[in-house]
C-alpha cells in the first residue's frame, strides 16, 4: 500500500472510491466534486490517499493551519477487508506529515450521534475536549 498526498491526476480515482451517491451530495453549497478538488489543490487543505494496486482504498482530508500549529481532520474513510489497518497506517503517515509541517495539534469535530466515528478517532489516540465532541491529539 502506498500513502501520499493526492494530486489532481488522482481525482477520478478518488471519485470512484467515493461512489456516485457521495459524489452527487452537496456540502457547503458546492458539489462534492468541487469540494474534493479544492481539498487537493488548496494549500491550506490536505487530501491524503492510500493506494493498493493503483486503486484508492482510503482517504484522510481536512484543513492544514501549520502557521497556527494545527490540523483539522474533516473525514477519514477506508474500504476493504482491512479498514482498521488502512486507517491506522494512513494516520501514522498523517501524523508524520503534520510533524514535518510543524503542526503540534490535530483536532476534529464529531456529532454526538456518530458513535462509529467517535470510536475511530478515540482508537487513533484522540481525546474528548469540552462538552461538545471535539476531539484532539497533541503530537
pTM: 0.86
Domains, in order of start, for the chain: 2-138 (3.40.630.30)
Q: How many CB atoms lie within 10 A of CB 102?
A: 9
Q: Please answer whether residues 45 and 61 qualify as being in contact, where contact means their C-beta atoms are separated by less than 8 angstroms.
A: yes
Nearest-angstrom CA–CA distance, 12 and 38: 14
Tens digits of per-residue pLDDT, 8-43? 999 999 989 988 666 666 655 566 777 788 888 888
- To 5 degrees, how large is the angle CA 76–CA 13–CA 90? 30
* The pLDDT of residue 31: 67
Tens digits of per-residue pLDDT, 48-103? 999 999 999 999 999 998 888 899 998 899 998 899 999 999 999 999 999 999 99
Tens digits of per-residue pLDDT, 101-110? 999 999 998 8
Q: Please answer whether residues 59 and 51 qualify as being in contact, where contact means their C-beta atoms are separated by less than 8 angstroms.
A: no
H-assigned helices in the chain: 11-18, 20-24, 32-41, 83-100, 115-123
Amino acid at each position: 500500500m502506498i500513502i501520499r498526498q493526492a494530486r489532481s491526476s488522482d481525482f477520478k480515482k478518488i471519485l470512484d472510491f467515493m461512489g456516485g451517491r457521495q459524489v452527487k451530495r452537496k456540502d457547503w453549497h458546492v458539489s462534492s466534486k468541487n469540494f474534493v478538488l479544492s481539498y487537493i489543490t488548496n494549500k491550506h487543505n490536505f487530501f491524503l490517499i492510500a493506494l493498493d494496486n493503483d486503486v484508492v482504498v482510503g482517504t484522510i482530508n481536512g484543513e492544514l493551519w501549520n502557521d497556527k500549529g494545527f490540523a483539522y481532520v474533516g473525514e477519514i474513510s477506508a474500504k476493504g477487508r482491512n479498514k482498521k489497518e488502512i486507517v491506522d497506517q494512513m494516520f501514522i503517515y498523517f501524523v508524520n506529515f503534520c510533524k514535518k509541517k510543524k503542526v503540534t495539534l490535530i483536532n476534529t469535530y464529531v456529532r454526538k450521534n456518530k458513535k462509529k466515528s467517535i470510536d475511530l478517532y478515540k482508537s487513533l489516540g484522540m481525546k474528548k475536549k469540552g462538552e461538545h465532541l471535539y476531539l484532539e491529539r497533541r503530537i
